[in-house]
Amino acid sequence: MRSAAPPHEMGIAMTSASDPGTRNGYALAMIRIGVGVLFLIFAQYKVFGTTFTLHGGFQFWINKFLDGGAYPFMSPILRGFVLPHATVIAFLVAYGELAIGLSLILGVLVRSASLCGLIFMLTLLFSSDYPGRGAALWQYFGASLGHSVFALCFAAFVIGRTDSVWSVASLRKNRASSE
């Protein structure tokens, strides 16, 4: 009786939990899902309440940024464009955060959502994390931690294959390969 050829000789790729690529995929998926959960938390009060979108919550934050946290080149944009269109932009922020959160958790359109998230984080960074004129270089980085860490996560999600595990796409792929 002849035994079957080993899987690697039959063209079947075998991966194990100890494979660095597999471990990296799981690590990125954990971060992706964690960031997605945080974005759902950020979005829920904005989407399911009206304070942020319809009752001045968004304008409050923009004015707070203008009073002490916006980079000088952002002030004219915040005053001249964002505040006059505050309600529309507030809804865009609320539902954008919801869409980003759902996309990351489900692993659907991760790169597109992450690119939008990266742009959003850079916008927030320059709108709110200015340490002031004459600050030491390290203070610029220290002031930006709330947004720069998310920006780095989104950049990694754009570059990496964060939807390779624990995603709708990977479930479909696994289901198709088992049929």
DSSP string covering the chain? -PPPPPGGGGT-----TT-HHHHHHHHHHHHHHHHHHHHHHHHHHHHH-SHHHHSSHHHHHHHHHHHHT--TTTHHHIIIIIGGGHHHHHHHHHHHHHHHHHHHHHTSSHHHHHHHHHHHHHHHHHHH----TT--HHHHHHHTHHHHHHHHHHHHHHHS-TTSSSSHHHHHHHHHHH-
* Interatomic CA distance for residues 29 and 150, integer angstroms: 15
Question: What average pLDDT does the segment 116-137 reach?
Answer: 95
pLDDT band at 177; cut points 50, 70, 90: confident
Does pLDDT of 63 surpass 60?
Answer: yes
Q: What is the residue whose two structure tokens read 């004219």?
A: 76
pLDDT digits (tens, 9 = 90+) for 71-86: 999 999 999 999 999 9
pLDDT digits (tens, 9 = 90+) for 30-49: 999 999 999 999 999 999 99
Question: What average pLDDT does the segment 122-130 reach?
Answer: 96
Structure tokens at 119: 């742009």
* Interatomic CA distance for residues 54 and 166, integer angstroms: 36
Length of the chain: 179
Does pLDDT of 12 surpass 50?
Answer: no
pTM, rounded to two decimals: 0.84
